Structure 1
Amino acid sequence: MNKRMKSAEYLSNFESMFKCPICNSSMKVFELKSLICLNNHTFDFTKQGYINLTTHMVKTKYSKDLFEARRKLIVEDSFFKPLSAAIAEMINKHATKKEALSLIDMGCGEGSHLSNISDIIRSEYNKITTGVGIDLSKEGILVAAKNYTNKIWAVADLANTPFQDKQFDIILNILSPSNYEEFNRLLKADGLVVKVVPQSGYLKELRAVIFGKPEKQSYSNVDTVERFNENFQLVDSSRLCYTVTLDNPSIQTLVQMTPLSWSSTAGQVTSFLKADSAEITVDLELLIGKK
C-alpha cells in the first residue's frame, strides 16, 4: 500500500466525524482514494497522505521552507519541548477519567506540536490518542503528512471545519488565531480547549533586533486572554518561561521560521544571524477552558 492508501485506510476508521464542507452531509472513504459525501462532493487524498477539504484556492504567506525550519527548531533543537510537556500534563490533569482522547490542533502548521503532545499523552499517561491536524496552509499540512503517520492531516478552513458537532475531547490552539464559534461547535460537552498565547518576553532578543522602538519590542496579549475568558470558563492557566541556547545554524532557522522577520530588513538581522550562539527567551501563557 502506498502512503495515499494507508492514510485513506486510517481515516476510514474515523469517517463518521466528517461532514462535507460544501453541503454538510456525512462522508465516506471511497476505494481508498477519496472522501465522498452523500451528494457526491469528492475530495481526493494526495500522494503525501493528506486531504484538502477547502472549497476554494487559498494562498497564504507561509512557505514550505518556513514550515521545514519550524519543524527543525521543534524536533532537532527541542525549542518547544517544555511546552509540549506542560500541555500534556495539563490535559492529563483535567481529563484523568478518560482512557482515550480525540485531539484536534486548529492551525497545526507542520504538525510537530500535535505529534509531540499525542506521544507524551500516550507514553507517559497511557491514554489512547486520535490526532487531527488542520491548517489553511497546504505547505504546512504537506510537511506534517510527510513526517507524521497515523494522524489525520487536512487543509481546511478554521471558520468552516469539515467535522460534525461535538467530536473532540481536546482542541489545541497554539500560537495561532482562534475561531471560538467553531471551537464551541466541535468540542464535546466535557471537552477542553488549550490555547497558548505569547507573553511579553517571547523572542524578546529577536524583537530587540527587528523593532527599534521599545513599545514594539514588548507587547501585551490582554485582549486575547479576555476574549478567551468571554467564550470559555477558565479552569486552569499557567505561565511558562524559559530560555533556549541556539547555535548559529539554529539562529538562522529561528529567523526563517518566525513571521516577525517579515517586517525586518536584511540589514536589521545581519548581525543577529552572524552570532555564534544566542540565548532566546520563550515566554508563553497556557489557558485551559471548558464550555
Structure 2
Amino acid sequence: MTKSKKIKSAELVSEWSDIFRCPHCGTKMQVEAWKSLTCVHHHTFDFTKQGYLNLMKQPIKSNYDKTLFEARQHVVGETELFQLLHQRISEILSRLNKETITILDVGCGEGSHLHQIMEGRLDRSLVGIGLDIAKEGILQAAKNYIDPIWVVGNLANAPFQKNVFDVVINILSPSNYVEFKRLVASNGLIIKVVPRNNYLSELREVLMKSEKREMNNKDEVVSLFQDHFETTKRIPLTYRHKLNQTVLQDLVRMTPLAWSADPKRIQSFTEQESAEITIDLDILIGRNN
C-alpha cells in the first residue's frame, strides 16, 4: 500500500524531531501517531494531507498568493534560469566534511530553490527543511516536492532548536541575522544570495519605469552580512538566459514589482516571443563562529 504524503512527512519529521521547538513555549517536540507534532506541554500541530506543518502561533495574511507561487515554481523549478545558481550552491555543500548535512532554507517560498539544490547533492546526504511565513508557498512546495520538510513558520520566532543546522540558506528574501546565528551550528555556514545591479534588469526597466535602476541597498545588505558573520567568500554570478513568451509571462507574475506597474508596459513585455534575461547575483558565504 502506497503511503500518503502525510505519513511520509510524519516519518521524516520523526527522524529529525530533535530539530524542532514549540513556537508557543520553546520546549522539545515529537511526532505522535503519525498525525501531529506535539510538545511536552501538549501544544499540537497536525500534519496536513499535503504533508506540511503549520507552526505559526497565529495566521498572518500575505500578499503572496497561489498565482505568484505557481508562476515561480514554473520559472525556478522547471526552467534553466537559475540552474547555475543551484549548481554553485550544491558545489559549496559538496565540500563540507560531513556525512549528513542539515539545511534550512529561510524564505523558501514554493520550495523550488531548495529542491533543485538538493537534486544536485553530488553524492552527499542532505536533510532539507524549507521555512516560509506564506502558507500558499509552503502548500505549493508540499504538492510538488516530497523529500524536504516543509514548514509554515515565522523567522522572527523560528520553530527550531539552537545550533541544529549545518547550513542556513537565504535566497533573495529578507533576513534575520540574530535568528540565523541562533539556528546555525558552531562553525556552520550561512549562504545568502543577494541581487546585484543588473539582476533582472530587462524586467525592472519595464516595471520600474526606468532606463537603469540601481539596487540601492545592495552594499548595505552585504555590509550587514559581513558585520554578523565571518565572510569566507563572495561569489559573483552573472549570465544571461533566453526565455520564451510563456516563461516571460510567469516571470512577471512571480514578482511583486508587477503589482504597481503600468499594465500597458507589462503587456508590451509579455507579448515578446522571447527575450534574454540577466541574472546578476552575489553568493555570500559566511561562517558562524
TM-score when scaled to structure 1? 0.95
Q: Does 1:218 align with 2:214?
A: yes
Deviation at 1:241, TM superposition (A): 0.5
Other-structure match for 1:87: 89
Deviation at 1:92, TM superposition (A): 2.6
| CA distance in 2: counterparts of 1:100 and 1:33, whole angstroms | 26
2:90 and 2:117 in contact (8 A); partners too:
yes
Which amino acid is the alignment partner of residue 94 of structure 2?
N
| CA distance in 2: counterparts of 1:59 and 1:289, whole angstroms | 32
Deviation at 1:214, TM superposition (A): 4.3
Q: Does 1:35 align with 2:62?
A: no
Deviation at 1:47, TM superposition (A): 0.6
Which amino acid is the alignment partner of residue 75 of structure 2?
L
Question: What is the 5 A alignment of 1:1-291?
Answer: 1-93=3-95, 95=96, 97-121=97-121, 124=122, 126-214=123-211, 217-220=213-216, 221-291=218-288
2:195 and 2:215 in contact (8 A); partners too:
no
Identity of aligned residues (%): 45
SS at 2:286 equivalent: strand
SS at 2:205 equivalent: helix
Deviation at 1:82, TM superposition (A): 0.4
SS at 1:196 equivalent: strand
SS at 1:159 equivalent: helix
Deviation at 1:74, TM superposition (A): 1.6
2:162 and 2:182 in contact (8 A); partners too:
yes
Which amino acid is the alignment partner of residue 57 of structure 1?
P
The runs of 5 or more residues in structure 2 that have no matched partner are: none
| CA distance in 2: counterparts of 1:213 and 1:117, whole angstroms | 34
1:50 and 1:142 in contact (8 A); partners too:
yes
Deviation at 1:261, TM superposition (A): 1.1
1:204 and 1:218 in contact (8 A); partners too:
no
Deviation at 1:37, TM superposition (A): 0.5
Deviation at 1:263, TM superposition (A): 2.2
Which amino acid is the alignment partner of residue 156 of structure 1?
G
2:27 and 2:39 in contact (8 A); partners too:
yes
| CA distance in 2: counterparts of 1:90 and 1:284, whole angstroms | 16
| CA distance in 2: counterparts of 1:196 and 1:178, whole angstroms | 11
2:206 and 2:265 in contact (8 A); partners too:
yes
Task: State the Cα deviation string for residues 172-209 of structure 1 (Å, max 9, x = none).
Answer: 00001000011000111120000000010001011111
2:204 and 2:210 in contact (8 A); partners too:
no
Task: State the Cα deviation string for residues 57-89 of structure 1 (Å, max 9, x = none).
Answer: 111110111111111112222210000001111
TM-score when scaled to structure 2? 0.96
Deviation at 1:229, TM superposition (A): 0.4
With over 3 angstroms needed to count, the CA separation of the structure-2 counterparts of 1:92 and 1:162, relative to structure 1, is same
Task: State the Cα deviation string for residues 211-266 of structure 1 (Å, max 9, x = none).
Answer: 22446x23240000010000000001111001110111111111011112112021
| CA distance in 1: counterparts of 2:272 and 2:184, whole angstroms | 45
| CA distance in 1: counterparts of 2:70 and 2:7, whole angstroms | 25
The runs of 5 or more residues in structure 1 that have no matched partner are: none
SS at 1:60 equivalent: coil
With over 3 angstroms needed to count, the CA separation of the structure-2 counterparts of 1:241 and 1:177, relative to structure 1, is same
CA RMSD of aligned residues (A): 1.1
SS at 1:144 equivalent: helix
Aligned residues: 285
| CA distance in 2: counterparts of 1:18 and 1:167, whole angstroms | 9
| CA distance in 2: counterparts of 1:25 and 1:13, whole angstroms | 17
Give the 4+ runs in structure 1 shifted more than 3 A.
none
